[in-house]
Amino acid sequence: MKNKVLVLCFFILLIGCKPKQVVVKPVVVEYAKVPLAEVGADQKKRAYDLGKRLLMICNTSKFIPFKESEATPSVIQNTTLEKHSKVCLKFRERYGSFVDLKLMEVYRISPGNETLFRYKALYERSNANKELRVTLNAENKVSSLKTTEWTDTFLKK
């Protein structure tokens, strides 16, 4: 009798513990190009100032961490003096001193209501072909910063 009850409990447990399939819908991120004239001057200035400040660290060696009013916690946590020192050493060696940023394109990212600014980073040496992407969230805080090789076509990375 005990064996029958144990076998019955085992089968009930086995049926009850069957894994359930969870359907995960992929989030589709859409990038919509925005004419430069349609972007607010204050947003352009904020993205430019924060991006330039980030790259000017290589010239001045004065690291100024982002404040909570300027960037998201993840950006603040990831922008450290140690990381900047490594990147700056490599950039200065290859491209010379940082000169300026030139705004090339702006994209709206949905979902999330973020704005991505694509800047061409200008350096002393002509072999420099770098891009800086500054993403501002709905609160005008930097939600991501990325440097990559410049391409004329926008690659969603």
SS3 of the chain = CHHHHHHHHHHHHHHHCCCCCCCCCCCCCEEEEECHHHCCHHHHHHHHHHHHHHHHHHHHCCCCCCCCCCECHHHHHHCCHHHHHHHHHHHHHHHCCEEEEEEEEEEEEECCCEEEEEEEEEECCCCCCEEEEEEECCCCCEEEEEEEECCCCCCCC
- Cα separation, 52 vs 38, whole angstroms: 22
- Cα separation, 37 vs 127, whole angstroms: 30
- Cα separation, 94 vs 123, whole angstroms: 10
Interhelix angle 81-95/41-60, nearest 10 degrees: 80
Could you give the domains of the chain?
A: 28-149 (3.10.450.590)
Q: Determine the pLDDT at residue 126.
A: 87
Residue 151 backbone phi and psi in degrees, to 5: -130, 145
Q: Determine the pLDDT at residue 68.
A: 93
- Residue-by-residue pLDDT tens, the chain, 157 positions: 666 665 656 666 556 666 667 777 777 888 999 999 999 999 999 999 999 999 998 888 888 889 999 999 999 999 888 888 888 888 889 999 999 999 999 999 988 889 999 999 999 998 889 999 999 999 999 999 999 999 988 887 6
Is the overall model pTM greater than 0.75, yes or no? Answer: yes
Q: Determine the pLDDT at residue 12.
A: 65
